[in-house]
Amino acid sequence: MTLGQTDGVRLLIVGPQGSGKGTQGIRIAEAFGIPAVSTGDVFRAAVAAGSDLGQQVKAIIEAGDLVSDELTSAVVRDRLSHADAEGGFLLDGYPRNVSQVMHLDEFLEGRGEGLDAVIELSVPRDESIARISLRAQEQGRTDDTEAVIANRLAIYERETAPILGVYRTRGIVDEIDGVGSLDEITHRIIAALEARGLSRSAAA
């Protein structure tokens, strides 16, 4: 598959906190000439736009509650309906559980599409904790204690890791070693995607 075809390139990047998936997601999206769509960015944009969906998200966040799977999926569907995502996209942070996988499947099937590949950034648990702790120190965030970080990783392992099992049965998961320099990891990801016949943007 080459970029520029109506089929597009649709990717999902998955990894625990501290895996570097946000940074790698942006790099890979740029390499393939597609928008990086992260849940956090989508929520912030919806709130800033003051749309009906944005107002619902704002009220929930201000109340300190978690945004439901249904509302999260609605906000992401709205973002993926924008013109810049017609030629493909890279999702980061969504779907975060099996329920959201079903919502995404339904949406993409309705457009005659599907994910081309799921990038799993594999990082040892102690490495994730060390990276997050270092980042917290650099940013002066005292709330990121080791116990808090361990709890976040436990939530990932319990809720998000199972979606990889779903995608593995479809044969679209590429497990990437997430330890190394930024460039080394980026090259590993691109090599795996190109091995699937997914071509980078000529402009990259």
Which residue in the list 44, 58, 77, 96 is annotated as catalytic? Answer: 96
The verdict on whether 152 is a catalytic residue reads yes
The verdict on whether 96 is a catalytic residue reads yes
Which residue in the list 44, 77, 125, 152 is annotated as catalytic? Answer: 152
Distance of alpha carbon 174 from alpha carbon 8, whole angstroms: 19
Beta strands in 136-177 (DSSP E): 173-177
Which residue in the list 135, 158, 168, 170 is annotated as catalytic? Answer: 135
- Which DSSP letter does residue 171 get? T
Which residue in the list 111, 141, 158, 168 is annotated as catalytic? Answer: 141
Distance of alpha carbon 75 from alpha carbon 104, whole angstroms: 12
CA 152 from centroid of its chain's CA atoms: 16
Which residue in the list 21, 79, 131, 188 is annotated as catalytic? Answer: 21
Of residues 127, 124, 76, the one with CA closest to residue 100: 76
Distance of alpha carbon 88 from alpha carbon 95, whole angstroms: 16
Which are the catalytic amino acids?
21, 96, 135, 141, 152
